[in-house]
Structure 1
Amino acid sequence: MKKILFTLTAAASLLLLAACTGSSTTGSSSNNSAESTSTSESVDLNALELPQLSTDVQENEALVEMVTEEGSIKIKLFPEIAPKAVENFLTHAKDGYYDGLTFHRVVEEFMIQGGDPNGDGTGGESIWGEGFGEEYSNQLYHLRGALAMAKSSAPNSQGSQFYIVQNDQDVSDGLAIQHYPEKIIEAYKNGGTPALDGKYTVFGQVIEGMDVVDKIAQAETQDSGNGENSQPVEPVKIETIKVLQEAKE
């Protein structure tokens, strides 16, 4: 089974996002963020709740601790906005599905990716035994530290693979004309990958341990077999993912 790769334009200053199953495919090179983040001109985006911008964990949010060989990463999850992605991730975490798996793909100044039991980007499944659809929202964005689902170009192809956005470069230029909330534009000055907004499901945000994410992203890499230099020579393992808080209904 081949890995699926999605390419982004050089203008996006990003590289690739591998997905989980199927044959090799190339994704769109354009940024359709305006379409996904502004569903109606009547929506005041600047009035929306933007939970990624706070490190506080609210009662309607969940909190996990991802314990890796390089240290711990605390991530809050947003079940009211991306319920299926959160349920899938939390259930896998409780069942120990992610224990011992690696970050099989790392691209510095882009992201780190894991959650594949095959360890090469070709495997993994959801808790339902089949893929499930995207949950896009104008409340969640690919800011630095965002946790999102990897997928293929096929419908309902999200499984178990996820990635954490690591880029720390200012990527806010041009977002004002794409109908982004002002606070999100400001946040993108600290890094992120806005070219992925509206294409992949964001369902969490790192609130502690970005230094660990950075360290994992800086690993020595080699050709992954498809021309991308992203396979860690010594992949970092996820020891376990602890659920520290579940959202109250």
Structure 2
Amino acid sequence: MAQALDPENTLRMELKDGVVTIGMRPDLAPNHVERIKTLTRRGFYNGVVFHRVIDGFMAQTGDPTGTGMGGSDLPDLKAEFSPPSEAQHLRGTCSMARTQNPNSANSQFFICLADVPHLDGQYTIWGAVVDGMEAVDGIKTGPSARNGKVEDPDAIIRMWVMADE
């Protein structure tokens, strides 16, 4: 890693196979980074499952209902899309999930399991895995016939902001 991590903008996420470190990008998506930190500090993500995981594509979490339809009690966020020249959906990228409405991101996010350039400029990138991608790779996947819906899904054991350690 070329530069030291900023503890206030670094997340740690404990999964069954290890701890994942995510460097957040307030320079790209200040409102989304602030939302992730607020929810993390509330303990919102602790125990939340990866309800949709598609091998070679992405692992999605952040819905407390585990259905893919839920969110937090906070209002949805206005999109903060980055032009592909500034940020791309590469393996390890963390980006917000949303409905067809670009301004509907709330609490759900996904981690790219591979490079997915067709998402560039259409979803808000707020960070990237800087360590522990092997633990992300160990997340249980769902069948493609069910759009990645996972039966008995893996969960985030605990997530915290590094500054709070």
- Aligned-residue offset at 1:240: 1.2
- Superposed CA deviations along residues 59-95 of structure 1, whole A, max 9, x for unmatched, are 4971111011232110000112210110000110010
> Which of 191, 204, 213 is matched with 2:136 structurally?
213
The answer as to whether partners of 2:52 and 2:147 remain within 8 angstroms in 1 is no
CA distance in 1: counterparts of 2:49 and 2:106, whole angstroms = 16
Secondary structure in 1 aligned to 2:138?
A: helix
Report 1:33-44 matches (<5 A): none
- Superposed CA deviations along residues 152-197 of structure 1, whole A, max 9, x for unmatched, are 1124201100000002xxxxxxxxxxxxxxxxxxxxxxxx111000
The answer for the alignment partner of 2:29 in structure 1 is: 82
- Aligned-residue offset at 1:229: 4.4
How much is the aligned-residue C-alpha RMSD, in angstroms? 2.1
> Which of 121, 133, 136 is matched with 2:81 structurally?
136
With over 3 angstroms needed to count, the CA separation of the structure-2 counterparts of 1:233 and 1:60, relative to structure 1, is closer
With over 3 angstroms needed to count, the CA separation of the structure-2 counterparts of 1:86 and 1:235, relative to structure 1, is same
The answer for the alignment partner of 1:177 in structure 2 is: none
1:237 and 2:160 are equivalent in the alignment: no
TM-score scaled to structure 1, two decimals? 0.60
With over 3 angstroms needed to count, the CA separation of the structure-2 counterparts of 1:55 and 1:200, relative to structure 1, is farther
- Aligned-residue offset at 1:237: 1.0
- Superposed CA deviations along residues 30-58 of structure 1, whole A, max 9, x for unmatched, are xxxxxxxxxxxxxxxxxxxxxxxx56345
Structure 1 unmatched runs, 5+: 1-53, 168-191
CA distance in 2: counterparts of 1:141 and 1:220, whole angstroms = 23
Secondary structure in 2 aligned to 1:113?
A: strand
Number of matched pairs? 162
With over 3 angstroms needed to count, the CA separation of the structure-2 counterparts of 1:157 and 1:94, relative to structure 1, is same
Secondary structure in 1 aligned to 2:158?
A: strand
Secondary structure in 2 aligned to 1:94?
A: helix
CA distance in 2: counterparts of 1:156 and 1:91, whole angstroms = 19
CA distance in 1: counterparts of 2:39 and 2:93, whole angstroms = 19
Secondary structure in 1 aligned to 2:136?
A: helix
**Given residue 14 of structure 2, which amino acid in structure 1 is its aligned partner?**
V
The answer as to whether partners of 1:61 and 1:78 remain within 8 angstroms in 2 is no
With over 3 angstroms needed to count, the CA separation of the structure-2 counterparts of 1:55 and 1:243, relative to structure 1, is farther
The answer as to whether partners of 2:71 and 2:108 remain within 8 angstroms in 1 is yes
CA distance in 2: counterparts of 1:244 and 1:166, whole angstroms = 23
**Given residue 140 of structure 1, which amino acid in structure 2 is its aligned partner?**
A
The answer as to whether partners of 1:82 and 1:135 remain within 8 angstroms in 2 is yes
